[in-house]
Structure 1
């Protein structure tokens, strides 16, 4: 009886020592989840959904069409914008003709002024010699003044037309405005086609042709399959020896009995404590109740080098937030690493049952 007591006590001490050492050297957690980027597909224009081209869970490539919103009203707006552009170009062309006409008018006015100056000069010479009547000189001065005024009017008309017309060609403000409106119409037309932002799949597809899509409101849920990882939630005791690059064994509940090798990619320096603090105020401290406090957990990101992207032909399938068991090997401790590998193997077998 006495031997059994000491044997049991020794066994308990060995288990306790192993637990304390393993918690630091080969930390294990069953609190881990499969993660990927979840992106809401939000239309930027409103309209009736006329076509759904992707199935729920189907892997699609970046740029592949997921759904189409009724394009007819947006196509009409593009046609109107093109017509406005053509009209603006015609108006600028007509304005250019007006400039040419005003320029010709100014040239004629200047030529007439030179003629009047020449004739007036002769009359003024004769007037000075007393060879013509004073009335003749007054008439020459009147005609010269009118010619000068005509040049001023023609110059003002030309400047007014040029100001109204603006620059010629593509730099003309009217054409620039029409081009901008056309670009806006074409952009909105392109927004009627909803495409995959990356390689991935639609999740929880609850949409059918005939549904109404509103601009700015989420319409589809997209899972980015180009970046998949496992997030393990470790206690602060577990984090003591974990380093980026440490080897990890992962068991996914979706694939019981199988161990997948991974690596520590990063770990968070902060975690939510369930309280909030406003800027400029002291940090809010969570209350601890009872003698033993609950351990704070921090997310550790683990990548699976052979399965960093979800591929339909892969022998491993992922489900967002699917559960996983994780053990990290933080060093070269042969004994603890061997025990850890045996332990995660047993866990993988138990995952068949729960």
Structure 2
């Protein structure tokens, strides 16, 4: 008889334990629903591959690997000597063309004045011819009536022919003077091209000095002064430390309700007791699927069917608010909890 109460007590204890487990499970599920979290997350930041825009030998390397730098700080200098010579050559070409334009402008002014004088001579010759023709026309009927001598009529005709010849000569001189006027437009076009080359030479000389485009940390630096830098080939990498993110890979079932602007807590594995606040910035639009890809221009469909379907994970970008610099390293493991 004494075993019955103990059995009943054991059953009651088991029932209470199961009820507690169920209640605890519902509480955990509710908390996970209210505060989605993932341990599949890491620290990320923008990087700058510092490749020079001009080629040359590095004469000054002002930084070391893993050194922190500030925006505008000197990083390295490429030998400026050949670019200085190119700048001087471009400047000399601009000065020479400007001098030619000044000389030719003075000559053009003189040529224009001469052409104006020749045009005036044409007008004078026209007036002389008109007067000679009028005199001849007036004397011709008078000579037929005997009122004017033959010598006077012949002299009027000679004056008319002379005026015609003078007019033709004046016209030819005016055309020649007009054609002699040289334009400075070709020289001005050459000057504009030379000035463009001068500005390019100034830019190239300025680009021999490379400065930090942002606050950051130098990494992957394994050269020294004397190395030849090639245009477009990175010398080293700069990690932008002005903005840091956490990239959290949430399951697709957790994405419902995640919207930009939500507050987030990030726990770095290096110091889990020191939470970092952040703001959910954006949700990834998609990842490459394991199935449904193409090969050779045709869809690739596997023959087998996986009956266990695992939820896909999508990256969520979280911007960190004033993160501690000693914990900020690209790729560092973190745990992300969305405070929804």
TM-score by length of 1: 0.77
In angstroms, what is the RMSD of aligned CA positions? 3.2
3-state SS, counterpart of residue 148 of structure 1? helix
* 1:318 corresponds to: 328
Q: CA deviation at 1:261?
A: 2.9
* 1:58 corresponds to: 67
Aligned length: 315
Whether the aligned pair in 2 keeps the contact of 1:24 and 1:237 (CA below 8 Å) is no
3-state SS, counterpart of residue 272 of structure 1? coil
1:145 aligned onto 2:173: no
3-state SS, counterpart of residue 237 of structure 1? helix
| Counterparts of 1:18 and 1:116, CA distance in 2 | 116
* 1:300 corresponds to: 316
| Counterparts of 1:45 and 1:139, CA distance in 2 | 73
| Counterparts of 1:261 and 1:100, CA distance in 2 | 76
3-state SS, counterpart of residue 115 of structure 2? helix
| Counterparts of 1:144 and 1:243, CA distance in 2 | 92
Gap change, CA 1:243 and 1:134, over 3 Å in 2: closer
3-state SS, counterpart of residue 244 of structure 2? strand
Q: CA deviation at 1:209?
A: 1.0
* 1:257 corresponds to: 273
Whether the aligned pair in 2 keeps the contact of 1:24 and 1:239 (CA below 8 Å) is no
3-state SS, counterpart of residue 155 of structure 2? coil
Whether the aligned pair in 2 keeps the contact of 1:123 and 1:132 (CA below 8 Å) is no
Question: Aligned to 1:75, which of 75, 84, 88?
Answer: 84
Gap change, CA 1:295 and 1:260, over 3 Å in 2: same
Ranges in structure 2 where 5+ consecutive residues have no aligned partner: 1-6, 140-152
3-state SS, counterpart of residue 92 of structure 1? helix
3-state SS, counterpart of residue 324 of structure 1? strand
Q: Deviations over 1:284-330 (max 9, x none)?
A: 788986432332111122233232xxxxxx56431011111122232
| Counterparts of 1:116 and 1:190, CA distance in 2 | 64
| Counterparts of 1:107 and 1:51, CA distance in 2 | 64
Q: Deviations over 1:128-180 (max 9, x none)?
A: 5314175554344222211111111111222xx12xx1189xxx323212211
Ranges in structure 1 where 5+ consecutive residues have no aligned partner: 308-313, 331-354
Whether the aligned pair in 2 keeps the contact of 1:33 and 1:231 (CA below 8 Å) is yes
3-state SS, counterpart of residue 118 of structure 2? helix
* 2:256 corresponds to: 240
3-state SS, counterpart of residue 173 of structure 1? helix
| Counterparts of 1:327 and 1:287, CA distance in 2 | 39
Whether the aligned pair in 1 keeps the contact of 2:40 and 2:248 (CA below 8 Å) is yes
TM-score by length of 2: 0.80
